[in-house]
Structure formats: C-alpha cells, structure tokens
C-alpha cells in the first residue's frame, strides 16, 4: 500500500530516559514512516509524554539515538510542530497574534504573517475571533488556535500530547474529525499520544502500546487497517473496529491493571 516505510520520518533506537534515579522509558525502538499517523497508548505515567519531548528535542534522551528523516537530532527538532496537552497559547497575545507568532519568529514580514494567520484562523473555524485573548475563548477554541499556531509553519512532523483530553466528548469528536481532514490534505507524520484506546484506533494507521512505568517499553504494535476517510464517531460502531479494539485491549488492560497496582 503506502510506501511510507522507505524513508522513516522518526527513528528511535534503544532510547532510555531518566529523571534522577527514576527511569521513565527504557530501551525503546520505534520507527514512524513518512506520512504515517502513529498513535501511542499506555496507562498514565508510562512515559508517553517523555517520548514526545525526546522527539521534539526539548529534552535529549539519557541513552539512545534519535534520527529525523535519517539525520541525527541535535537541539530542537525544527521539522516538528508540537501540540501540548496543557494550554500553551501565549495569554498576553490575541488569537491572531498567537497564530502569526511562528512565522514572525522565523522572520516572515509582519503583514504577510498576519494575512496567513487570518487564513489559518478561518480554516480552523475561528474567523471573527482574531482579536480575542485566550482567556476569552472556550477550551475547544483554544485548541483550534493552538492547532493553527502549529500548522501555519507546515511542519513535516506533528507531535500531539493528548491534545483533546480536556475537551467534552462532542467537541472532542468534532476536533478529531477536523484533525483527520487536515491530515488527509498533506499527510504529515503524526505522533499522537493518548490514553484513550478508542481515540487511538479511530485516528491512527498504527497503534503502539506502552507498558506501565517505571522503565516503560513497547509491548505491542498494531496496524489499523480501517478504510479512510473515517468519521471518528461512526467508525467506533463498525465490526472491524470492535475486533481491533478487543485485540489491543486484552494487552492494554494488563498494563492498566499493573499501573493501578502500584
């Protein structure tokens, strides 16, 4: 099918990360093909976010190698856009100023950046909210602004850390569908971290399961062979979806139990 395996966007080799004496992840090998939508699931505290921060270059690993499109990563990952779990917008800037920030920082003339930011805000459904400050927006709107803020830079890799975790179910499904539509346009490589297995299956090409921490590692790797384009609300009801869900859940449940036993 897709030959995204030919040139891997992200290659992690034998990655270990420590915080003092605490080993967060240990010996992780993971490859994401160019254009692949890869979801990482696991119980809370399994080091999923740690892994994203490593790929982003925000915190280099204690051991192991990170390669981005074949080149070793040093410093921040300039190919990646990062959608954080917590509110990450600059509260002292309006929605428009937040979206145009990336281009401005990278030297785009103010006027051009403003026009592009306006277009992106419209694209995520927030035309007319240009002059609102983040505290004047709802949770879903803030996520849209954050998404536009990241996508305006057209990163080749999109890192997402439970981006929709704090949203209500309806808003969440709406955002997931919009994300899929945007992804369908230019097929970025996506690394999507979540603890919600249903969300992972509905969105991704591949789901990777992490073990409970400390010293998390990968315990499962599943291809999700569901047709696209998908509707995240409807696909959950199909027989194929349920079959895959049962299969992965059998594995994930053990890890969740182990995480709780701690």
Applying CB under 8 A, the residues found at the interface with another protein are 56, 58, 76, 78, 80-82, 84, 86-94, 101-102, 105-106, 129, 132-133, 135-139, 141, 149-150, 153
Exposed/middle/buried for residue 36 (C-beta within 10 Å: 0-12, 13-18, 19+): buried
From the CB of 88, what's the least distance to another protein, in Å? Answer: 4
The CA radius of gyration of the chain, in Å to the nearest whole number, is: 18
Residue (57 or 197) nearer to another protein, CB: 57
From the CB of 221, what's the least distance to another protein, in Å? Answer: 27
Residue (98 or 211) nearer to another protein, CB: 98
CA distances from 84 to 3, 18, 72, 222 (A): 29, 21, 24, 25
Residue (79 or 205) nearer to another protein, CB: 79
From the CB of 76, what's the least distance to another protein, in Å? Answer: 6
Helix (H) and strand (E) counts in the chain = 8, 10
Angle, alpha carbons 58-80-13 (nearest 5°): 65
Residue (88 or 216) nearer to another protein, CB: 88
Residue indicated by tokens 């007319």:
128
Residue (157 or 259) nearer to another protein, CB: 157
Torsional sign, CA 147, 149, 154, 160: negative
From the CB of 128, what's the least distance to another protein, in Å? Answer: 10
Distance of CA 181 to the CA centre of its chain: 15
From the CB of 31, what's the least distance to another protein, in Å? Answer: 22
């Amino acid at each position: 099918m897709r030959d995204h395996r030919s040139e891997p966007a992200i290659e992690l080799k034998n990655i270990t990360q420590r915080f003092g004496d605490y080993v967060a992840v240990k010996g992780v090998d993971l490859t994401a093909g160019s254009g692949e939508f890869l979801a990482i699931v696991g119980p809370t505290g399994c080091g999923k976010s740690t892994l994203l921060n490593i790929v982003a270059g925000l915190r280099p690993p204690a051991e192991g190698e990170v390669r981005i499109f074949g080149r070793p990563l040093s410093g921040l990952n300039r190919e990646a856009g990062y959608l954080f779990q917590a509110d990450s917008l600059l509260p002292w800037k309006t929605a428009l100023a937040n979206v145009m920030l990336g281009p401005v920082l990278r030297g785009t003339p103010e006027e051009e950046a403003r026009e592009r930011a306006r277009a992106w805000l419209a694209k995520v459904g927030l035309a007319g909210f240009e002059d609102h400050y983040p505290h004047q927006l709802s949770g879903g709107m803030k996520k849209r602004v954050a998404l536009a803020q990241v996508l305006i830079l057209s990163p080749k890799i999109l890192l997402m850390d439970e981006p929709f975790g704090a949203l209500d179910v309806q808003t969440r499904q709406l955002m997931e569908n919009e994300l899929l539509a945007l992804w369908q346009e230019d097929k970025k490589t996506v690394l999507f971290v979540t603890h919600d297995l249903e969300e992972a299956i509905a969105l991704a090409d591949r789901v990777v399961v992490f073990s409970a921490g400390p010293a998390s590692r990968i315990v499962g790797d599943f291809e999700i062979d569901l047709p696209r384009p998908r509707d995240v609300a409807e696909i959950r009801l199909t027989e194929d979806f349920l079959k895959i869900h049962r299969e992965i859940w059998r594995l994930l449940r053990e890890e969740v139990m182990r995480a709780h036993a701690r």
